[in-house]
């Protein structure tokens, strides 16, 4: 399959977004920046596209204008090794952004992310349907995922 590179549409803040994201994820860098020239839709010298890599995954940020704002219809999942890693991404990405439910958030640029400790999926898919339901019920009450609380709920014995 050909390589797939997500392209994120921004309204004038593509360089700031790329700099922010590369400061959060390890092994990340900003690549080529193309700029608008005279007579183009954005002010001359404004970044048109910014290529960047987040821990090996390539992205392009495009300053295209206000026509297409971000929405929750598209989000990026960050599969985290543990609670500490999840908390790192949650804290950094919600800085200037907003929390949503069940590990979802919008960053300061309006891009939606899901911060998911990998153990969460095991808890939600537990072969014991009661345990899985209790884990799911606990998760549904959360903004930031808290594995300790979900584990306790999954392991609780109904009265």
Taking phi first (over 0 means left), then psi (-120 to 50 degrees means alpha), and beta for anything else, what does residue 102 get?
left
User: Parallel, antiparallel, or unpaired for β 47-54 and 29-35?
Assistant: antiparallel
SS3 per residue for the chain: CCCCCCEEEECCCHHHHHHHHHHHCCCCEEEEEEECCCCCCCCCCCEEEEEEEECCEEEEEEECCCCCCCCCCCEEEEEECCHHHHHHHHHHHHCCCEECCCCEEECCCCCEEEEEEHHHHHHHCCCCHHHHHHHHHHHHCCCCCCHHHHHHHHHCCCC
pTM: 0.93
Q: How confident is residue 158, by pLDDT bands cut at 50, 70 and 90? A: confident
What is the average pLDDT value for the chain, to the nearest integer?
A: 96
How much is the average pLDDT of 94-99? 98
The predicted model gives 24-33 an average pLDDT of 98
Domain with CATH 3.10.180.10 in the chain: 70-159
Mean pLDDT of 59-87: 96
**CATH number 2.40.50.140 given to 70-159:** no
- State mean pLDDT over 60-89: 96
Using the predicted structure, report yes or no on whether residue 159 has a pLDDT greater than 90.
Answer: no
At the topology level of CATH, where does 1-68 sit?
3.30.720
The share of the chain scoring above pLDDT 70, in percent, equals 99
Q: Are 112 and 70 in contact (CB under 8 A)?
A: yes
Angle at 153 between CA 148 and CA 159, to 5 degrees: 150
In the chain, list all ranges with CATH 3.30.720.100: 1-68
- What is the mean predicted confidence (pLDDT) over 74-80? 97
């Amino acid at each position: 399959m050909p390589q797939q590179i997500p392209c994120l549409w921004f309204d004038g803040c593509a360089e700031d977004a790329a700099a922010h994201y590369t400061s959060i994820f390890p092994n990340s860098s900003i690549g080529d920046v193309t700029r608008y020239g005279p007579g183009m839709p954005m002010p001359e010298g404004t970044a048109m596209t910014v290529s960047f890599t987040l821990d090996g995954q390539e992205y392009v940020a495009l300053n295209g204008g206000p026509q297409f704002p971000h929405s929750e219809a598209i989000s990026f999942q960050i599969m985290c090794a543990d609670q500490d890693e999840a908390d790192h991404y949650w804290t950094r990405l919600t800085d200037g952004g907003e929390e949503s439910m069940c590990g979802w958030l919008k960053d300061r640029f309006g891009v939606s992310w899901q911060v998911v400790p990998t153990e969460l999926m095991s808890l939600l898919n537990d072969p014991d349907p009661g345990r899985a339901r209790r884990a799911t019920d606990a998760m549904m009450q959360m903004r930031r995922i808290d594995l300790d609380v979900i584990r306790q709920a999954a392991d609780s014995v109904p009265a």
